[in-house]
C-alpha cells in the first residue's frame, strides 16, 4: 500500500463511529504525554475508541507540583482537570503493560490481552536507582505522586536529609526541604551542580545558591554506601541522614518493549522518526520515552521535560488522523524554580561555538546565550523572562545576532538581530 493509500486508510479508520467494533487507539502511559494524546485525538475529530492505560492507580496528574506545592503540603492534588468520560476515553488505571505483540496487534497486561488498532507509547521515564540502595529504609526517589506523599512527612518532621545529585530535581527538592526547615546536605559526583545539563562556566555560579539557602553542597563526592541513618562517601566521610533523596537522572521506561520489534536507541529510548512514528506501522511514541531526529540541531534528541510531553501529542494525533505533513522539530524548553530564582532554558547548546553573557551571574538576574556560526541556538534566562520569551522566538526563526548588542542586558534581545 502506498503512503497516500496508507494515509487515506488511517483517516478512514480514525473517523469511523465508536460502535464499529474496531479496537481504535490505545495509549500506554497516563502522564502528560499520554493524556494530551487522548485529548488531541478527540480535538482532531478522531471518533474511534480510545483507551488510556496508566500503571499508577491515581487519576492522571501533573508532575511539576510534586517537587513544590504538593511536597510542602500547599496543595492537595495536581490531577488534570479533564473529563475523560465526556471525551469517551476508557481510562484504565493501576494496569501494568508487560509486552507488545505486533503480529496480533495486542498488548500483554496483568488483566489479559488488550487489542489495538493504533498504539501510542507514552510510558515516560523511570528514575535511576542509587547503586547499593535497594531495600534500604529511608531512601526515596521523587518521580511519582506516591514518592511525594512518602516525602511530605519527612519535611514536616524537619528531618536531616542527604540529597544525592545536584541536578534540576535535586535543586528543586533541596529548595523545598530548606523552606520546610530541614537540614540538607547535597552530594554531587561532579565538580559543580547541573554538570550533565550546563557547561562549567554557566553552572559554576549556581554553586553559591545552595549556600545562600543554608544547604551544604559537597562536590566531587561519591556515595560508597547507604544504610539506615547514614550515607558513607568514597573518601570515608559519614553523613547522618534520616532520609536520602536520590536525583541522579532518569531513563526511558521501555524495558517492557523487549522482543516487540520496536527499535530502541542505546539510551533505551524509542527511536521515533520526524513524525514520531516508530519502526512498526501504526505505532507511535511521544514524551520522555521517545527520541526524535531534529533537523534544527542536526542530531537525535531525547527531551525529558514537560513542554515536550505537551507538544509532541499534537504531532502524533495529526499523524493518526492522516495529517501527515506535520513534522516534529520543536525548540526544547523547560523551567525550574529553585532557591528563590526562576530559571528558564530554551534550545539545545551542544554544538554551539560562542557563549554570550547578559548581566552578572552573581546577581539576581542574568542570561546566557549560545550561538553557532552567529545564529542563536539556546539560552538560559535566570530571572529574565523577557529574554526567554524573545529568545525562544529568535531560536525558532534561526536569527543571527550581533554579539556586542546581545551582550548588553539593557537592550532587548530582539534588538540584537542583524
Nearest to residue 165, comparing CAs of 231, 98, 219? 219
Looking at residue 66, its pLDDT comes to: 84
CATH match for 3-126+251-320 among 3.40.50.300, 3.50.50.60, 1.20.120.530, 3.30.1300.10 = 3.50.50.60
**d(C-alpha 249, C-alpha 240), whole Å:** 23
* 129-150: b (≥16 Cβ within 10 Å) or e: ebeebeeeebbbbbbbbebbee
Q: How far is CA 384 from CA 62, 342, 357, in A?
A: 25, 8, 12
- The CA angle 44-61-83, to the nearest 5 degrees, is 45
Instruction: Please report, in tens digits, the pLDDT of each residue of the chain (418 residues total).
Output: 444 444 444 445 444 444 446 789 999 999 999 999 999 999 999 999 999 999 999 999 998 888 888 888 887 778 999 999 999 999 999 999 999 999 999 999 999 999 999 999 999 999 999 999 999 999 999 999 999 999 999 999 999 999 999 999 999 999 999 999 999 999 999 999 999 899 998 998 899 999 999 999 999 999 999 999 999 999 999 999 999 999 999 999 999 999 999 999 999 999 999 999 999 999 999 999 999 999 999 999 999 999 999 999 999 999 999 986 779 999 999 999 999 999 999 999 999 999 999 999 989 999 999 999 999 999 999 999 999 999 999 999 999 999 999 999 999 999 999 9
Could you tell me the CATH superfamily of domain 340-416? FAD/NAD-linked reductase, C-terminal dimerisation domain (3.30.390.30)
Looking at residue 6, its pLDDT comes to: 47
On whether the CB atoms of residues 394 and 414 are closer than 8 A, the answer is yes
The reported pTM is 0.92
Domain ranges of the chain: 3-126+251-320, 139-246, 340-416
Long-range CB pairs of 203-210, under 8 A, 24+ apart, other chains included: 205/361, 205/362, 206/171, 208/362, 209/171, 209/338, 209/339, 209/341, 210/166, 210/171, 210/174, 210/186, 210/339
Looking at residue 2, its pLDDT comes to: 47
On whether the CB atoms of residues 263 and 292 are closer than 8 A, the answer is no
Could you tell me the CATH superfamily of domain 139-246? FAD/NAD(P)-binding domain (3.50.50.60)
Whether 340-416 and 3-126+251-320 are alike in CATH topology: the answer is no
Q: Is the backbone of residue 370 left (phi > 0), alpha (psi -120 to 50) or beta?
A: beta
Looking at residue 21, its pLDDT comes to: 63
Amino acid at each position: 500500500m502506498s503512503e497516500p493509500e496508507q494515509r487515506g486508510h488511517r483517516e478512514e479508520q480514525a473517523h469511523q463511529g465508536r460502535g464499529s467494533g474496531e479496537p481504535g487507539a490505545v495509549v500506554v502511559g497516563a502522564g502528560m504525554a499520554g493524556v494530551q494524546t487522548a485529548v488531541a485525538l478527540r480535538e482532531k475529530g478522531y471518533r474511534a475508541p480510545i483507551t488510556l492505560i496508566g500503571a499508577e492507580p491515581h487519576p492522571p496528574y501533573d508532575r511539576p507540583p510534586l517537587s513544590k506545592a504538593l511536597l510542602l503540603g500547599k496543595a492537595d492534588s495536581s490531577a488534570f482537570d479533564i473529563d475523560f468520560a465526556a471525551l469517551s476515553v476508557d481510562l484504565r488505571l493501576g494496569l501494568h503493560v508487560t509486552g507488545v505483540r505486533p503480529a496480533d496487534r495486542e498488548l500483554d497486561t496483568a488483566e489479559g490481552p488488550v487489542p489495538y488498532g493504533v498504539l501510542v507509547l507514552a510510558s515516560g521515564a523511570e528514575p535511576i536507582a542509587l547503586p547499593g540502595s535497594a531495600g534500604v529504609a529511608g531512601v526515596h526517589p521523587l518521580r511519582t505522586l506516591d514518592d511525594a506523599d512518602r516525602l511530605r512527612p519527612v519535611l514536616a518532621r524537619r528531618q536531616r536529609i542527604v540529597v544525592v545529585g545536584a541536578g534540576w530535581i535535586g535543586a528543586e527538592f533541596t529548595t523545598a526541604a530548606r523552606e520546610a526547615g530541614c537540614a540538607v546536605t547535597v552530594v554531587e559526583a561532579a565538580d559543580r551542580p547541573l554538570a550533565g545539563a550546563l557547561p562549567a562556566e554557566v553552572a559554576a555560579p549556581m554553586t553559591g545558591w545552595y549556600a545562600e539557602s543554608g544547604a551544604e553542597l559537597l562536590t566531587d563526592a561519591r556515595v560508597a554506601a547507604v544504610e539506615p541513618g547514614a550515607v558513607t562517601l568514597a573518601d570515608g566521610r559519614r553523613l547522618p541522614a534520616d532520609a536520602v533523596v536520590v536525583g541522579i537522572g532518569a531513563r526511558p521506561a521501555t524495558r517492557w518493549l523487549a522482543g516487540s520489534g520496536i527499535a530502541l536507541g542505546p539510551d533505551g529510548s524509542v527511536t521515533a522518526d520526524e513524525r514520531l512514528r516508530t519502526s512498526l506501522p501504526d505505532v507511535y511514541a511521544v514524551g520522555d520515552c521517545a527520541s526524535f531526529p531534529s533537523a534544527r540541531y542536526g542530531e537525535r534528541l531525547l527531551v525529558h521535560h514537560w513542554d515536550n510531553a505537551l507538544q509532541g501529542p499534537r504531532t502524533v494525533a495529526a499523524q493518526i488522523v492522516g495529517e501527515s505533513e506535520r513534522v516534529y522539530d520543536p525548540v526544547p524548553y523547560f523551567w525550574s524554580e529553585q532557591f528563590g530564582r526562576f530559571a528558564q532554558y530554551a534550545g539545545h547548546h551542544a554544538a554551539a561555538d560562542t557563549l554570550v553573557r547578559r548581566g552578572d551571574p552573581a546577581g539576581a538576574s542574568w542570561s546566557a546565550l549560545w550561538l553557532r556560526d552567529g545564529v542563536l541556538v539556546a539560552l538560559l534566562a535566570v530571572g529574565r523572562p523577557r529574554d526567554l520569551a524573545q529568545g525562544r522566538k529568535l531560536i525558532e526563526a534561526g536569527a543571527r545576532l550581533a554579539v556586542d548588542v546581545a551582550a548588553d542586558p539593557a537592550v532587548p534581545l530582539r534588538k540584537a538581530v542583524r
